[in-house]
């Protein structure tokens, strides 16, 4: 355990606290077991270390990574027991999806060590039904950390302190942007290419993002879903087939034929890619289980992924729809519209370029045109970048 403690203190000392994502405050940190999910690179590890540094008693907490060499010969439960016997209070376990049988051991900790709090984090695939998570369904509270919003990107890159806006405020054109010498479209174009992840300023950002995507598809999903080597290869092929065709309107018969897999297996593969955070599914409006609703279109999760995969020729329309869906779904249920592209709380949204006329909205009781390349709201025309302030 001494090595784990040393590593913990070193990582803690190297963690900056000058900017903490507002997602931190959406978490009820008093729950006994907390799960923090999200794509690789969205900042889960940094936020956890920031929380320890700012809010915890450092000597009563321990942060470990589940893929540490230590766990090749030790169990998480045994570490928790030893930690508990020392009178410590909080155990943080990062990258938990890389530890086999994690759910069973977390359940044992919950049942047998009632005074110990456990906070774990991992890839979004932890939300899959497979992987042994069922035992925790009544014990843990899980949160999914989104990519950086446009507002967060501006705050980090420019050192600003802009506040989020509700959907109601955005529909009135009210967002906390400084204007004056600062023009939103310039920053928005930067964000689209590399601004969705906290490490956007690092050298070779898009290369690193592509490596993270490959690691998710080649390693994390196959291991967690217990896929064979052949199935994993087909999953990767599906990933790139879909990426080349976004927004993709699912045709399961054709896809299953091209991948040489059962048509009944294909929905599982698509679910893996969606649950991993790499894709967003736009579904029809329904009162039933969301995952069972008909998928109208599949989008990549954000424009940075589009560029990382070398899809520079993706048209502006695809990028607009991608970002509108990615941002708004964090705060609202978003469905396909029968008369246009999107529907949120019975409000219809038509997404297009600055010359879009909004003909489809004539049938809508309440509708708006979402446009890029405009700075201000006029009438029912709302700049798309404003939706990047919704969280």
Domain boundaries, the chain: 2-144, 152-389
Cα(91)–Cα(60) distance, rounded to whole angstroms?
A: 9
- According to DSSP, the residues that pair with 142 across neighbouring strands are 35
> Own/partner pairs for 157-161, CB < 8 Å, 24+ apart?
157/187, 157/190, 157/195, 157/200, 157/201, 158/182, 158/187
Q: Are 286 and 187 in contact (CB under 8 A)?
A: no
Contact in structure between 119 and 48 (CB atoms under 8 Å): yes
Pick from 347, 355, 348, 349: which is nearest to 372 by CA? 355
Q: Label residues 59-76 b or e (16+ Cβ within 10 Å = b).
A: eebbbbbbebeebeeeeb
CA pair distance 192, 331, nearest whole angstrom: 20
| Planar angle of CA 280, 137, 45, nearest 5 degrees | 60
- Give me the count of residues in the chain: 391
Closest C-alpha to 128, from 268, 32, 229: 268
The token pair at 287 is 């009162």
Cis peptide bond upstream of 62, omega within 30: no
Tell which CATH classification among 3.40.630.10, 1.10.1670.40, 3.40.47.10, 3.40.50.300 matches the domain 2-144.
3.40.50.300
**If you ran DSSP here, which 8-state letter would residue 18 be given?**
S
Question: How much is the pLDDT for 359?
Answer: 81
Report the alpha-carbon distance of residue 283 to residue 291 in Å, rounded. Answer: 9
Residue 181 corresponds to which tokens in the numbers above? 């010498």
Let me know the angle formed at the C-alpha of 211 by 207 and 217, rounded to the nearest 5 degrees.
145
Give SS3 for 240.
helix
pLDDT per residue as tens, the chain (391 positions)? 889 999 999 999 999 999 999 999 999 999 999 999 999 999 999 999 999 999 999 999 999 999 999 999 999 999 999 999 999 999 999 999 999 889 999 999 999 999 999 999 999 888 765 555 556 767 889 999 999 999 999 999 999 999 999 999 999 999 999 999 999 999 999 999 999 999 999 999 999 999 999 999 999 999 888 899 999 999 999 999 999 888 999 888 999 999 999 999 999 999 999 999 999 999 998 755 555 568 899 999 999 999 999 886 678 999 999 999 999 999 999 999 999 999 999 999 999 988 888 788 888 889 999 999 999 999 999 999 999 999 9
- Report d(CA 204, CA 26) in Å as an integer: 32
Find out whether 96 and 126 touch, Cβ atoms under 8 Å.
Answer: yes
Could you tell me how many helices (H) and strands (E) the chain has, helices first? 14, 12
pLDDT at 1: 83
> 3-class DSSP state for residue 285?
coil
Query: pLDDT value at position 286?
Result: 73
N-to-C CA span, the chain:
39
Q: How far apart are CA 39 and CA 216, in angstroms?
A: 9
Please report the pLDDT score of residue 169 as a whole number.
Answer: 98
Alpha helices, DSSP H only, in the chain?
2-13, 44-55, 76-85, 102-112, 150-158, 167-171, 184-194, 205-215, 221-224, 229-243, 252-259, 266-275, 303-308, 316-328
């Amino acid at each position: 355990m001494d090595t784990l403690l040393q590593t913990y203190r070193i990582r803690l000392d190297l963690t900056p606290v000058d900017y903490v994502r507002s997602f931190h405050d959406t978490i009820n940190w008093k729950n006994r077991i907390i799960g923090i999910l999200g794509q690789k690179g969205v900042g889960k590890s940094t936020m956890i270390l920031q929380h320890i540094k700012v809010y915890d008693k450092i000597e009563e907490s321990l942060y470990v990574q589940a893929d540490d060499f230590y766990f090749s010969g030790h169990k998480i439960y045994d570490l928790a027991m030893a930690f508990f016997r020392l009178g410590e209070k909080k155990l943080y376990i990062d990258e938990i999806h890389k530890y086999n049988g994690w759910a069973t051991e977390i359940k044992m900790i919950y049942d047998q060590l009632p005074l110990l709090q456990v906070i774990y984090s991992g890839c979004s695939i932890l939300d899959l039904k497979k992987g042994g998570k069922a035992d925790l369904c009544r014990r843990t509270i899980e949160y999914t950390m989104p990519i950086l919003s446009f507002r967060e990107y501006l705050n980090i890159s420019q050192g600003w302190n802009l506040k989020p806006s509700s959907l109601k405020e955005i529909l009135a054109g009210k967002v906390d942007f400084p204007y004056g010498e600062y023009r939103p479209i310039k920053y928005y174009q930067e964000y689209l290419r590399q601004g969705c992840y906290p490490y956007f300023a690092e050298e070779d950002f898009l290369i690193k993002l592509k490596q993270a995507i490959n690691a998710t598809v080649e390693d994390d999903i196959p291991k967690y879903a217990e896929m064979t080597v052949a199935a994993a290869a087909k999953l990767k092929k599906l990933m790139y087939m879909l990426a080349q065709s976004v927004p993709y309107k699912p045709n399961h018969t054709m896809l299953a034929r091209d991948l040489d897999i059962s048509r009944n297996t294909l929905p599982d593969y698509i679910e893996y890619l969606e649950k991993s955070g790499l894709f967003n599914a736009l579904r029809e409006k329904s009162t039933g289980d969301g995952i069972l609703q008909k998928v109208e279109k599949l989008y990549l999760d954000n424009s940075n992924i589009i560029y990382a995969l070398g899809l520079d020729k993706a048209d502006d329309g695809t990028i607009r729809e991608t970002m509108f869906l990615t941002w708004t779904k964090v705060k609202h249920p978003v469905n396909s519209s029968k008369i246009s592209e999107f529907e949120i709380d019975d409000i219809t949204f038509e997404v297009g370029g600055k010359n879009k006329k909004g003909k489809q909205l004539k049938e809508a009781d309440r509708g708006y045109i979402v446009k890029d390349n405009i700075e201000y709201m006029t009438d029912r025309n709302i700049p798309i970048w404003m939706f990047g302030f919704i969280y």
